[in-house]
Amino acid sequence: MEQLMRDFFLFLSKNKFFTEMAKKYGLRFGASRFVAGEQIEQAVQVIKGLNQKKLAVTVDFLGEFVDNEREANERADNSIQAIKAIGREKLNAQLSVKMTSLGFDISEQVVMNNMRRIMDAAKENNVFVTIDMEDYARCQKTLDIFKQLKSEYDNIGTVIQAYLYRTEKDIEDLNQYSPNLRLVKGAYKESPEVAFPEKKDVDENFKKIIKMHLMNGNYTAIASHDDAIINFTKEFTKANNIPNSQFEFQMLYGIMPERQLQLANEGYTMRVYVPYGTDWYGYFMRRLAERPANVAFVLKGMFKK
């Protein structure tokens, strides 16, 4: 049943009709639990509140699969606006970006122009930028873009997904760049030809790449709500004398907030992924797919007076 629900919500996440309806009717039906508003001003207030609780943030202007240059440029403008807000308000925050919102599927020139505009603004405002990883079909090209930009900018990282068979090789290949990586399980529906179909195999691969990246001496963000992964990381870093300054935990806004505070109070860097914007539907559906318990939270929120 859980797999059926996951597949159902992943299917809905790519439905263009529902995506447009969501943009039209705004953040209702429970999405505000996971999305910090439609404008950067709303997101700034959320970030300030999280910072006051000793929580770091990475902020993301939502959007993906843009197919025209005008919209891609506008998405880049919104990311630059977020960077400037982080700098102006002196927030403990970074920026996350999706390549498909910046022209990835249009042309290399469009996406690289937009990324360099974003990175120039980030460098000026001392803001770190993470390139989010999307589906498998776009994995290699995303890594190629990261490598190119890493040769030009220091303040950039990317994401590696544990459910892909290729991941261990990618960790080895990227080590020469001393990369700051966010390690995740992966949230897209992929073929068993390219990704582990069983959760237990994904979990084991997740632990393997956490060990690899940490032992390579690179900064590691462990993005997971799984206590088994979190506890594994705690035990491994203590056993190998890896300082807390070399890694952090990351979780999504609206999910397990008490656990986030607990980790921050234990002295770990705890970063919250805070999305905002009108194009929230695909992101929201994937959050429901990842954790069926989220559906109950949403239904409860919908019927609150």
Q: Kindly list the catalytic residues.
A: 132, 182
User: One-letter amino acid identity for 293?
Assistant: A
Secondary structure of 223-264 in HEC code, one letter for each residue:
ECCCHHHHHHHHHHHHHCCCCHHHEEEEEECCCCHHHHHHHH
End-to-end CA distance of the chain: 30
For residue 160, count CB atoms less than 10 angstroms from its CB and return exposed for 0-12, middle for 13-18, buried for 19 or more: buried
Query: What would the two tokens of residue 228 be?
Result: 């088994």
Q: What is the dihedral of CA 7, 279, 130, 143, to 10 degrees?
A: 60
Between CA 38 and CA 90, with CA 92 as vertex, the angle to 5 degrees is 85
Chain-centre distance for alpha carbon 112: 20
Q: Rounded distance, CA 252 to CA 196, Å?
A: 23
